[in-house]
Amino acid sequence: MTQKIDDFTIVLSEWTDTAECELKVYEGLDRLWQMLERYKMTAPIAIRVVDNKARCLRAIRGSRSEAAGWQLEDEPTALTPPIESEVEPPLTLNVQDAKGNVLKMRLQLGVAKPEPLSTHSSD
């Protein structure tokens, strides 16, 4: 069953352990940054990665500077995230800005389509 891709869906090339992966993984989430700009969300922001049972897998805070863009930092939490095998997709990013505005985005695993084999030879 395929899910429609919309503005509130972020397609990742592969699942990573969201609790252990480096923050640079989140720097590639261009759609998230576009949506933050669209809705004029005010830094600092708090990002919570949650699974379908609303368990927080990771908490990240972000600030923005004109020169460097978004700067992300892990936020210490009192909760111990579930182990990777217990995480149940779909995952959701819950983003709250300094004014209390909330943006929710789905994370979806993207499946690369195999390219058709070429029957033409190049001479």
pLDDT tens for residues 81-107?
666 667 777 889 999 999 999 999 988
Let me know: does 101 contact 46? Beta carbons within 8 Å: no
Q: Is residue 117 part of a domain?
A: no
Mean pLDDT of the chain: 75
pLDDT of 39 reads 93
- DSSP assignment letter at 97: -
How much is the pLDDT for 45? 95
Asked if the structure places residue 19 within a domain, the reply is yes
95 found inside a domain: yes
Side chain identity, residue 79: L
pTM: 0.70
Domain encompassing residue 80: 9-109
- The answer to whether residue 54 sits within a structural domain is yes
Q: Considering the domain boundaries, does residue 96 fall inside one?
A: yes
Number of domains in the chain: 1
Domain assignment of residue 44, yes or no:
yes
121's tokens: 């030879």
Residue whose C-alpha is closest to residue 29's, from 11, 17, 7, 16: 11
